[in-house]
Amino acid sequence: MNINIYYGGRGVIEDPALSVLKKIEDVLEELRVNVTRYNLYDLKNSIMTLPQTLKEADGIILAASVEWNGIGGYLQLFLDACWLYGDKTKISQIYMTPVVISTTYGEKEGMLSLINAWELLGGKICPGLSAYVEDYIDFEGNVEYTNIIEKKAENIYRTISQHIKSLPSSSIAIKQNLIHNSLELTPQEGEQLSRFVSDDIYVQKQKEDIEELASYFKGILKENETDVESEFIKIFTSHFVPQDNFSATYMFIIEDKNKTLYIKVNNKDLYIKYEKHNSADIIAKLSYSSMDNISRGRMTFQRAFMTGEITAKGSFKTLCMLDQIFPFN
């Protein structure tokens, strides 16, 4: 059995959450569990890639130290990464145990926050542990508290090893809604995107490109804009490169022009027109300037998506095929 611990505190010596984790780790290791701890404060520059570490985990422990308000930024960033780039199929098989220790107030709220987040991700919940600690030394040396923590560690092992089920939650219905309205990524695509956003050089380059484009478009007078309908249909048609054994439908909603460009590709056939449809393989939203920028070869479809210029729903692979079908650059 493999259990990962993700600790979201600051790592200070007097943090009682570290003492609790140490006791849990000792019990689990006695039960021959492989325990791996990830201290998020040490991994803050690579948090977006950490969902990859869930691949071999049977269960995880999310440990938070509440020092003044909430579970802290590092742990929230990790949960955000799981939502954006994590393998939802794998997460649905993983038990999560929340451990929240407060030195002020809010341990119950913090534990509830972690439970709600993991349920929305589709994962399973293992009963957690929360406590308020006024004096670190008294808490660590209290034999009764130690017994409670050790019993909790045994329950974690029992729940995961026996695959104990829990009653259904309304979070499941909400999760289906949220996932339906988000871009569908395979585990490999999620891993690739998580690496992009963790690359500071890449992110900085995208910001510079966006600033350069913003400056460029500020100098364009509105009266010099050509008609959006005839312009994009003509340029997409002239750059069309057929792909063998490939067919897909795309719907581009150009928000600031209140126009919807519908494209249907079927091997060597191209249909493109401004019209609305009830569905398409890719439904994307973007501004006129973003579409103009792409059609003039200043930015690819994939880069536009990664930098947030495009928001889309559908298959990531089908979205990326646009750069092969319409090689503007």
CATH of the domain at 44: 3.40.50.360
Last residue of a domain, one of 168, 189, 217: 168
Of 176 and 105, which is predicted with more confidence? 105
Range of the domain at 216: 199-325
The reply to whether 178 falls in a domain is: no
Least confident of 38-52, 77-91, 176-190, 266-280: 176-190
Q: Are 150 and 215 found together in one domain?
A: no
pLDDT average, residue stretch 273-289: 91
Q: Are residues 11 and 154 in the same domain?
A: yes
Stronger pLDDT, 203 or 45, i.e. the higher one: 45
Residue 94 pLDDT > 90:
yes
Check whether residue 264 and residue 217 sit in a common domain: yes
Q: Is the pLDDT of residue 297 over 70?
A: yes
> Which phi and psi angles does 283 have, rounded to 5°?
-115, 115
CATH code of the domain containing 246:
3.30.1050.10
**Cα–Cα distance list, 282 to 1, 228, 249, 314, 316 (Å):** 40, 21, 7, 5, 9
| 151 and 25 housed in the same domain | yes
- When the pLDDT of each residue in the chain is averaged and rounded to a whole number, the result is 86
**pLDDT surpasses 70 at 186:** no
Q: 113, 147, 168: which is the final residue of a domain?
A: 168
Residue 62, in any domain of the structure? yes
Both 221 and 311 in one domain: the answer is yes
* Number of domains making up the chain: 2
Residues 137 and 214 placed together within one structural domain of the fold: no
> What is the DSSP pairing of strand 311-314 with strand 282-286?
antiparallel
Residue pLDDT, tens place only, 109-168: 999 999 999 999 999 999 999 999 999 999 999 999 999 999 999 999 999 999 998 887
Report yes or no on 183 lying in a domain. Answer: no
pLDDT digits (tens, 9 = 90+) for 198-232: 556 655 666 777 777 777 666 554 444 445 567 78
Residue 156 within a domain: yes
Q: What is the pLDDT of residue 221?
A: 46
Percentage of the chain with pLDDT > 70? 84
211 and 164 in a single domain? The answer is no
Q: Decide which of 168, 183, 212 is a domain's last residue.
A: 168
pTM confidence score:
0.60
15 lies in the same domain as 108: yes
Residue 307, CB-side half-sphere exposure with 13 Å CA sphere: 21
Assigned domain for 191 exists = no
* Confidence label for 180 from pLDDT (cuts 50, 70 and 90): very low
In a domain, residue 182? The reply is no
Distances from the Cα of 143 to the Cαs of 63, 138, 233, in angstroms? 21, 10, 75
Indicate if 51 and 136 belong to the same structural domain: yes
Within this chain, do residues 103 and 160 fall inside the same structural domain, yes or no? Answer: yes
Paired tokens of 131: 């406590």
279 and 213, same structural domain?
yes
Q: Which residue has the higher pLDDT, 99 or 201?
A: 99
Please answer whether residues 41 and 77 qualify as being in contact, where contact means their C-beta atoms are separated by less than 8 angstroms: no
The pLDDT assigned to 211 comes to 76
Domain-located, residue 23? yes
Question: And the tokens for 261?
Answer: 């460009």
CA 239 to chain centre: 34
- Within this chain, do residues 129 and 6 fall inside the same structural domain, yes or no? yes
* Residue 49 included in any domain: yes
The answer, yes or no, to whether residue 293 has pLDDT greater than 60, is yes
Q: Is the pLDDT score of 169 beyond 90?
A: no
**How much is the pLDDT for 228?**
55
| pLDDT reading at 181 higher than 80 | no
